[in-house]
Every structure is written in structure tokens, then in C-alpha cells.
Amino acid sequence: MSVVDVSAYFAGVDPLAETKTVIWRPVTATTVIKVGQPVCYDSDCVHDVQERTVNPSARGADYAEGSQNFSGRLFVVEEPLTANLMSWAGIVAKLGSKAGADGDTIVIYVPKEGAIVPVYTDEYCYADRTILGIRDGEADVTYPGRPIGVAMEDIDRATTDGLVWMKFHNFIYDNQNEALEVDDEANAVNVIGVHKINVKFIQTSGQCSALHIKAESSLGATSAYKGLAFYAEAIVSGTVASHVTGAGVRLTISGGTPAEYLMGFQAYLKEDTAVAMTSAQRVAALSLGLQVTHDVTANCLSFIHLENNGAQTPDAFIQVGLIGEMGGARCTEAAVVDGDSDWTIPIRDNNHVYYLRAFADDQVS
């Protein structure tokens, strides 16, 4: 029986890790890099790897975008800065003859999903839990501005900076600076999902979800209207020629005989028994906001709109006028309910207008 040499499997470098040789040229020339620290490509440079800005084979003509001569963007790295976080290059694996000084030829671990490498950090790390990242002006791998990986051992590096094993992980991070762009060709009619999830469940019981997001905050971190688990923002700067929805949810029932609840969208707020809600300012399962600064056509200032497509009996249309405090909404129509029209909400169906009046607690008999 042959003897297998397994020594390579116990070496201090993950076989998955891949390396690349680059040139260290920091923005601050006196900055010295260390093994384990992160670097980013000089993605806005206008020179080749030898820092020439002219093409020696073209009689000294200046390099131009698209000429494939800006090799500096492939091989010249610098410290993490706001302008280059989207051009994250990797972790320093080996220094050259200049010991990490300006102009040194260094070797870096390139980001490869699942590869485990040593990184220099200032964080208290927990195995398989602590997300590590890079930030503007931070020499170490630290808490994320841009996340790059997850710690793979329990160790306190918050007291004194040092090395920790980190697994590279590809978090979704599409340009913190300028937005990525989709081509504007005239025939580009439909762009259905830059990031797309398309799942078909064939299970017959249990729970299923194409996307599950869970976010926890044990220290009361403020989301400030941004959404703790999920936040979506859509901006239209051109003239709207058709329907535009900031975020859409549709449930289509195409078979069977439903016997349970059917909800196109559900919002649920739950108070845990360990939490005292008596001092909460405002509590709502669903909060809707609307801000329009110009006059619009009839029925456009709608908080809730049930659209009747003719297939069912018309239900209700609720239109709220000027929003007051939490006590109610001021009615904009000349309607009188019990001699007072200040705090009423018109409720419309196809043929009639009804008015819902808000009473103070001491007015209710």
C-alpha cells in the first residue's frame, strides 16, 4: 500500500486561496502596508503598470479610455478610500523587497468565495458570526463600510490589533459611489431583474420563501424610517409615461380551492411579553406616507384604493385629505357631520360618499 503525504493538507494556507502580484502605491506615500491588511485597486488611474501616461509604441500619444493600456487599474493597489471601495482587490499575503513601503511589489490573496486567509483586524471576532469589512481610511480589516468576509475564530483583536482567520464572502455590494448603469439602447424595452431570484417550490407542505430576510438588533439600533430588515427606494427623474410603482407585491392564485387566508401583502407588528409598550410614541402595523406639493387629478391623493375590475362587488375607496396629528384627518370637502366637518374622512364607493368622523375619547358615549 502506498503512503500518502498529507503534510500539505495541514499547511497554514488554505488550498482554495488564490494569489496575485501587484504594486503597492498608496495615496499617502509614507503609508507602509502589513501582511493581512486590505488593499483596493487604483481604479481611477490613467497610467499603465509602470505609471506611464503615454504610449511609448505610439510616439508618445496620451493613453485614452478604451485603449486597453490602463494596466495600472489591474496591478496597482492603494489603501481603502471612499473612492475605491467598489474596487476592492484583496488581502496582503507577502511583502516584497521594500517591506511594504511605497512602490513595493507585493502578493495579495484575491477575494475568492469560501477561501480562508489571515487578516489584520481591530475587531472582537466570533467564529462564523462576525462580519468584517473595509472602510474609508482604515488600514485594518474592520467593521464594514464594505463587507468582505466572516471571521472564522473566536479572538479579541479589539484590545490589540492582530491577525484572525477570515473566510471570503461575496456580499451583494453594487457600488457605494456612483450607480451601476443599464444600457439605454432604444430597443432595450424590458430589463427584468438585475439581481434575479426565480424559484419553483415542488414541496407539498411546510413553509417556503424565495427570499428570507432576518435582521436583529439587541442594542436598539435606529433604522430611522429605513427599515431594519428591508428598505427599498425607487427614484424616477424623467417624465413618467406609464404606471410606476416603488415596490410591488402580487399574489396570483391559479389553481386549487383555497381554504385559508389569502393576502397580497401582510404587515404584522408583534409585542413580546418582555417588552413594555406603554411609553411608545406611535405604534402601527402599517404606516403610509404621502407627500405631493402640486395639485393633482381627482382621487390621486389616496392612502387606500380598492380598484374594481368589474369581477367583484365594489367595496370601498378611502381618500384622506390634509393630514393632521394622530387624532384624525381634516376633510377637504364641504360636508357637515353633526355640525362639524373639521375631523372627517370621506369614504367613497362608486355611487355614494360617506363620512367617518373622529371623536375624542371623552366624546364617545
- C-alpha 190/C-alpha 187 separation (Å) is 9
Domain stop point among 168, 183, 202:
168
pLDDT the model gives residue 112: 96
Beta strand 38-41 pairing with 344-348: unpaired
Instruction: State whether residue 68 is helix, strand or coil.
Output: coil
Query: Which range among 96-110, 121-135, 245-259, 271-285 shows the weakest confidence by mean pLDDT?
Result: 271-285
pLDDT the model gives residue 188: 65
**Residue 274, in any domain of the structure:** no
Q: What is the pLDDT of residues 295-307, one digit of tens each?
A: 776 656 665 665 5
Enclosing H/E stretch for 109: strand 105-110
Tell me the Cα Rg of the chain. 30
Highest mean pLDDT among 24-33, 229-238, 310-319, 354-363: 24-33
Cell of 73: 487599474
pLDDT the model gives residue 147: 96
Domain stop point among 168, 188, 208:
168
Highest mean pLDDT among 60-69, 118-127, 224-233, 354-363: 118-127
**Residue 229, in any domain of the structure:** no
pLDDT the model gives residue 28: 94
- C-alpha 331/C-alpha 107 separation (Å) is 69
Q: How large is the average pLDDT for residues 26-40?
A: 96
Instruction: State whether residue 74 is helix, strand or coil.
Output: helix
pLDDT the model gives residue 237: 86
**Residue 140, in any domain of the structure:** yes
pLDDT at 321 over 50: no
**Residue 218, in any domain of the structure:** no
Sign of the Cα pseudo-torsion (307, 313, 314, 316, in order): negative
On the CB side of 340, CA atoms within 13 Å amount to 8
Sign of the Cα pseudo-torsion (97, 103, 105, 108, in order): positive
Residue whose C-alpha is closest to residue 107's, from 120, 131, 91: 91
Cell of 119: 487578516
Average pLDDT of the chain, as a whole number: 80
Q: How large is the average pLDDT for residues 311-325?
A: 43
When pLDDT is cut at 50, 70 and 90, the band that residue 351 belongs to is: low
Domain stop point among 134, 152, 168:
168
Proportion of the chain above pLDDT 90, given as a percent: 36
- C-alpha 343/C-alpha 334 separation (Å) is 12
**Residue 291, in any domain of the structure:** no
Residue whose C-alpha is closest to residue 72's, from 102, 40, 96, 94: 40
pLDDT the model gives residue 115: 96
- C-alpha 208/C-alpha 195 separation (Å) is 20
What count of other Cβ atoms lies within 10 Å of the Cβ of residue 33?
Answer: 25
Residue whose C-alpha is closest to residue 307's, from 350, 251, 263, 354: 350
pLDDT the model gives residue 142: 97
The CA-based angle 199-204-209, given to 5 degrees, is: 35
For residues 13 and 161, membership in a common domain is answered with yes
Q: How large is the average pLDDT for residues 149-160?
A: 97
- C-alpha 358/C-alpha 328 separation (Å) is 6
Q: What is the domain count for the chain?
A: 2
Residue 185 carries which side chain, given as an amino acid letter? E
Contact indicator for 330, 343 with CB cutoff of 8 Å: yes
pLDDT the model gives residue 134: 96
What DSSP character marks residue 85? G
- C-alpha 211/C-alpha 199 separation (Å) is 9
pLDDT at 338 over 50: no
Cell of 12: 497554514
Residue whose C-alpha is closest to residue 73's, from 110, 38, 45, 50: 45
**Residue 246, in any domain of the structure:** no
**Residue 219, in any domain of the structure:** no
Residue 331's domain spans which residues? 302-363
- C-alpha 37/C-alpha 141 separation (Å) is 6
What DSSP character marks residue 3? P
pLDDT at 19 over 80: yes
**Residue 159, in any domain of the structure:** yes
